Amino acid sequence: MGESEPGPDGKGILHPEGMQAVRDMAAGIVHEVNNILGVIIGNAHLAKKSLTDQAGLEKYISEVRGAAEEGRELMRQLAVLASDDSLRTRVLSLNDLVTSAASGLKGRVQLDLSGEDPAVELDLWLAQDALGSLVRFMTETSAVSSIRVATRVVGSAVALTVEDDGATPTDKELRALFAPYAKAERRPKPGVGLTKLADLAARSGGHVTASAREPNGLRVVLTLPLASVSK
């Protein structure tokens, strides 16, 4: 498998591989950690100068704590990607996972769920985190006014489609979309969120693709094998 491997429609990336992907990820981590350290160091300096100002001191200490928690979350997410450990998978309702990922965003998200309620074998934490990251990435795009999430059973597989009506990515942006810390024009950085979606697909025997949506927008399709459920 090369550095970027297209899906069935020629778009998207299954998993970032190769030395260039490693360099890109390392550069992104350095950038993110430096940002976090800058917040911690700057606010610690201001807190030291504000020892007699209780309100100011509390504000700067709160900023330090927030940045430290952001760093801890970044390390936790990277640890998931770096781990070769077997995930604790179980048979889950894909419709339930989608509903959970879209909760709190119902004003912008239209759910179009399969009546067959497809079951898939996934790690619950990783699946919720990956799907939630994808939905948040789309909702954070200022040009997006609506998002559609659909599940469809096709033979022995299920397709989960998430699409929006925001800015249309270029072919170059589509190829980079699942690279950690990539930033498409007029779209926010996905961080490691979309990379975790690709990791979820790879670990589960499925694949994920990204393509432009007509007349405008982004479409991401996660295809997973259906789990056999005992009657």
pTM, entire model:
0.73
For residue 166, pLDDT over 70 is answered with yes
Does residue 59 sit in the same domain as residue 121? no
Q: Count of domains in the chain?
A: 2
Question: Can you tell me the distance from the alpha carbon of 140 to that of 63, in angstroms, rounded to the nearest whole number?
Answer: 22
Q: Which residue has the higher pLDDT, 192 or 85?
A: 192
Amino acid at 175: R
Structure tokens at 128: 């919720």
**Residue 165: what pLDDT?**
94
Nearest alpha-carbon partner for 15 in 33, 32, 2, 31: 2
Does residue 142 sit in the same domain as residue 37? no
Q: Where is average pLDDT lowest: 3-12, 44-53, 189-198? A: 3-12
Does residue 140 sit in the same domain as residue 202? yes
Asked, for residue 150, whether it belongs to a domain, the answer is yes
Burial 7-16 (b: 16+ CB within 10 A, else e): beeebbbbbb
Yes or no: say if 124 and 204 are a contact pair by the CB < 8 Å rule.
no
**Residue 14: what pLDDT?**
47
Question: Can you tell me the distance from the alpha carbon of 165 to that of 167, in angstroms, rounded to the nearest whole number?
Answer: 7
**Residue 33: what pLDDT?**
84
Yes or no: say if 193 and 133 are a contact pair by the CB < 8 Å rule.
yes
Does residue 97 sit in the same domain as residue 77? no
pLDDT tens-digit map of 117-136: 999 999 888 898 899 889 88
Does residue 178 sit in the same domain as residue 104? yes
Does residue 106 sit in the same domain as residue 171? yes
For residue 160, pLDDT over 90 is answered with yes
**Residue 210: what pLDDT?**
94
Asked, for residue 231, whether it belongs to a domain, the answer is no
- Report the pLDDT averaged over residues 90-105: 88
| Residue ranges making up the domain that contains 41 | 18-82
Classify residue 171 by its DSSP letter: H
Percent residues over pLDDT 70 in the chain: 84
- Non-local CB neighbours of 159 within 8 Å, separated by 6+ positions: 151, 152, 221, 222, 223
Does residue 114 sit in the same domain as residue 218? yes
Amino acid at 153: V
